[in-house]
Amino acid sequence: MHVIDSHTGGEPTRVILDGGPDLGSGPLAERARRLATDHRDAYRAIILEPRGQPAMVCALLVPPVDPDCVTGVIYFDAEAVLGMCGHGTIGLAATLFHLGRIGTGPQRIETPVGIVTVDVQDANTVTVTNIESRRIASDIPVEVEGFGTITGDLAYGGNWFFIVDPAPVPVTSGNIRQLTDVTIALREALKAAGIRGDDGGAIDHVIFHGPSDRPGIHSRNFVLCPDNAYDRSPCGTGSSARLACLAARGQLAEDTEIVQESVIGSSYRLSYRIASNGGVFPKITGQAHVMAESRLIFDPKDPFRGGIFL
Ligand code: PYC
């Protein structure tokens, strides 16, 4: 299995070029479901320690249905197959550029939730135009055991997010452990309360926003992912959901650019175009760097061949 590892604002992406599970043909959403249900052990072996690393997202390349797309891709983390992944798409574009498969300029990429476009500016800088993103509910109070009532918005950006602003815990790198504990408890409370997306999807990502101490930054975020890791980048699908919330609140005008910072200080430039039925089309510009080209070995004699899962 050949893979290329990159990071986008500190968040790792492993692009699987060949040797992945055979998912057959058909719509990408169906192939993603097959990956989730029939190949869970196989995909987790690629991403779990010791072969993978915490916070990693894998990008499994598959043939697209739409021949105008440069590739199809299915993203997954150690816990779940994702609808879309913004940092992963920036990493994927930088990887395809590194391989000479694409040059600068626009390209279409097919994902299980729809077609996104990437505009490659140089070897590292990529703008993603995401699928339509939308807020479906605002100011939902949730009772979180040990932490009281936490209020947030429910929004979709290719994955489902519960977005809290202002955060009940200061969003600083020194608070990552506490931020992780509170957001996990909040995600569990959302699940227990039966709060889901309007397509029945689980709310498996949580975002806390707080102020940044750097000039020109709109806010700093902490993003909890399904595998309980926090996103080192500002999270592309989370930033998309956030843009939908800012637009719905009238707090950000169309085509106005803001800078979103992550809890470790990496950043994306964000803006949106209004969609015809109430949502927004987010634009996310970030930087990725290729780190390694490897061949993964799955030795039958290796007791941790399938990864460490506790
Ligand atoms: O950038 O969309 C994203 C993302 C999702 C999970 C981790 N990163």
Q: Is residue 89 part of a domain?
A: yes
Q: Could you tell me if 100 and 159 lie in one domain?
A: no
Q: Is residue 84 part of a domain?
A: yes
Domain hosting 28: range is 2-131+290-295
Q: Is residue 310 part of a domain?
A: no
Q: How many CA atoms lie within 13 A of 246 on its CB side?
A: 25
Q: Could you tell me if 161 and 193 lie in one domain?
A: yes
Predicted ipTM of the assembly: 0.99
CATH of the domain at 120: 3.10.310.10
Q: Could you tell me if 56 and 150 lie in one domain?
A: no
Q: Could you tell me if 150 and 261 lie in one domain?
A: yes
Q: Which amino acids are annotated catalytic?
A: 85, 235
| Tokens of residue 72, six digits | 């199809």
Q: Is residue 68 part of a domain?
A: yes
Q: Could you tell me if 20 and 111 lie in one domain?
A: yes
- Report the distance separating Cα 102 and Cα 215, nearest Å: 35
Q: Could you tell me if 258 and 144 lie in one domain?
A: yes
The pLDDT of 6-33, averaged and rounded, is: 97
Q: Could you tell me if 111 and 150 lie in one domain?
A: no
Number of H helices, E strands in the chain: 5, 16
Q: Could you tell me if 127 and 170 lie in one domain?
A: no
- Report the distance separating Cα 80 and Cα 103, nearest Å: 31
pLDDT in tens, 95-151: 999 999 999 999 999 999 999 999 999 999 999 999 999 999 999 999 999 999 999
pLDDT in tens, 228-275: 999 999 999 999 999 999 999 999 999 999 999 999 999 999 999 999
CA of 138 to the centre of ligand 1 (A): 22
Q: Does the C-beta of 236 come closer than 6 Å to ligand 1?
A: yes
Question: What is the atom index within ligand 1 of the atom nearest the CA of 238?
Answer: 2
- Report the distance separating Cα 159 and Cα 238, nearest Å: 8
The pLDDT of 170-192, averaged and rounded, is: 98
pLDDT of residue 196: 98
Q: Could you tell me if 81 and 160 lie in one domain?
A: no
pLDDT of residue 310: 77
Q: Is the dihedral of CA 206, 210, 215, 217 positive or negative?
A: positive
- pLDDT for 279 beyond 80: yes
Q: Could you tell me if 126 and 139 lie in one domain?
A: no
**pTM score over 0.95:** yes
Over the chain, what is the mean pLDDT?
97
- pLDDT for 50 beyond 90: yes
CA of 10 to the centre of ligand 1 (A): 12
Q: Hunting for tokens 């902490």 — which residue is that?
A: 222
Q: Is residue 304 part of a domain?
A: no
Q: Is residue 210 part of a domain?
A: yes
Confidence band for 158, pLDDT divided at 50, 70 and 90: very high
Q: Hunting for tokens 């990008």 — which residue is that?
A: 59
Q: Could you tell me if 123 and 158 lie in one domain?
A: no
Structural domains in the chain (count): 2
Burial class of residue 109, CB neighbours in 10 A (0-12, 13-18, 19+): buried
pLDDT of residue 232: 98
Q: Is residue 309 part of a domain?
A: no
Q: Could you tell me if 111 and 147 lie in one domain?
A: no
CA of 192 to the centre of ligand 1 (A): 24
What percentage of the chain exceeds 70 in pLDDT? 100
Confidence band for 277, pLDDT divided at 50, 70 and 90: confident
Q: Is residue 302 part of a domain?
A: no
Q: Collapsing DSSP states into helix, strand and coil, what is residue 202?
A: strand
